[in-house]
Amino acid sequence: MSKDQHQRVVQLGPYQLGPRYKHTGEFGRIFRARRAETGAPALVLQPTARQAEDAPLTDWQVRLTSSVAPAYFALEVERPPTSAHPVDAAEELGFMVEDAERVLQVAMMRPGTLEFLSTPPHRPRESAPRIQSRRRIALAAGIGALVAAALLAFTHRASPGVQVVVDADAEGAGTGWGGSGNVADDVVLTSATDTEPIVLARPMPKSPFDNQKRPPCKKPVEVEAFGGCWVPHEIRAPCPDDLYEREGKCYLPAAKPKATPAAVSLQPLAVQSE
C-alpha cells in the first residue's frame, strides 16, 4: 500500500484537507484541499485563535466567474444569508472577498499551486468525520470559487522543491477555530524538497496587540496603522518571521510605554512646630 493510502484524510466543511502551506503567520492555516462530493481542487483557509477578532459576521456562498469570450466578470450569489442585518451582510461579503484575495496572493507565490489548481477533479480515496468550523462553509466555498476564476489572470510559473508540511506547533498546537483543536494535528503529511522553502512575511494584523502602543504615535519614528503604532524596519519584503508586512514594507509593533515611578526627593520633609 502506498504512502498516500496510509495518510489520514481530515474534512473541514465540504472539503477534504491536503497539505498545509508553511509560514503563513498571523493569517491562519492555508490548505490545499478538494471538495468531497466533486473532487474539485480548492484552497481552504482555517483561521486560528489569533484571528478570533476576524470572525465572520454572517454566512455567504458565492461563485465568481471570469469569461474571455464573451468578455465579462460575474459575482453570482449561490446562497445568501438567511437572517442577518443588512450592514453585517454587506460588510461580510466584502471581507470574504478580501480574505480570499489574500489567500490567493499567498498561495500563488508558492511553487506548485497553479499546477494543483489546474488538475481535473477527482475524489479522494478516504473520508473522515465532518469537522465543524465557525468559519463555516461559506468562506471556504468563496475562496475555492475565487481561485478558479482567477486562474486566467495568473501566469506565475512554479519551480520544484516546495515544502508543504503540517506544522502543529507553528501557530499553537491543539488550538483551532471553534475549539476543535485537532485539524492540523491529525493531518500526517510529508514531502521531499531539494531547496529551501519559500518564506512569506506575516501580514500586519487588523487590530493592535494587547501590549502594543496606541496612537498618538511618535512621528517620524512610528507610524499609525490598524489602531496601533508600528516602527518601520529597513528590511523590505519578504520579511523575516519577527516582522510584519504591509504594502511591501516590514514593521515591528511599538510596545506600550512602561509606567515610570514618580520621582522621590531625597531631601527630608520640613516639620512644622506647634
pLDDT digits (tens, 9 = 90+) for 2-45: 444 445 678 888 898 888 888 776 677 888 999 988 999 999 88
For residues 232 and 122, state if they share a domain: no
Provide the pLDDT for residue 179: 35
For residues 209 and 139, state if they share a domain: no
Residue 263 lies in a domain: no
Residue 77 lies in a domain: yes
Provide the pLDDT for residue 6: 46
Mean pLDDT score, 161-190: 36
DSSP, collapsed to helix, strand or coil, labels residue 54 as helix
For residues 67 and 176, state if they share a domain: yes
Task: Give the CA angle between residues 171, 163, 244 to the nearest 5°.
Answer: 45
Rg (CA), the chain: 23
For residues 176 and 75, state if they share a domain: yes
Instruction: Tell me phi and psi for residue 3, to 5 degrees.
Output: -60, -40
Mean pLDDT score, 51-58: 68
Residue 154 lies in a domain: yes
Residue 19 is part of which domain span?
Answer: 3-186
For residues 87 and 176, state if they share a domain: yes
Instruction: Tell me phi and psi for residue 109, to 5 degrees.
Output: -85, -5
- Mean pLDDT is lowest, of 36-50, 105-119, 125-139, 154-168, for 154-168
CA distance 172 to 148: 31
CA distance 9 to 237: 35
State what percent of residues in the chain have pLDDT above 70. 58
For residues 86 and 148, state if they share a domain: yes
pLDDT digits (tens, 9 = 90+) for 191-246: 333 333 444 447 888 888 888 999 999 888 999 999 999 999 988 877 887 888 88
Alpha carbon distances (Å) from 239 to 30, 101, 250? 19, 20, 6
ω into residue 240 within 30 of 0, thus cis? no
In the chain, the largest separation of any two C-alpha atoms, in whole Å, equals: 101
Provide the pLDDT for residue 229: 94
State what percent of residues in the chain have pLDDT above 90. 10
Give the number of domains in the chain: 2
- Mean pLDDT is lowest, of 26-35, 47-56, 112-121, for 47-56
Spell out where 108-255 has E strands. 130-131, 202-203, 223-225, 228-236, 244-246, 249-253
The sign one gets for the Cα dihedral 216, 219, 224, 229 is negative
For residues 246 and 145, state if they share a domain: no
Higher pLDDT, 267 or 11: 11
pTM of the model: 0.44
Residue matched to cell numbers 500563488 = 108
Q: Which letter does DSSP use for residue 120 in this model?
A: P
Residue 268 lies in a domain: no
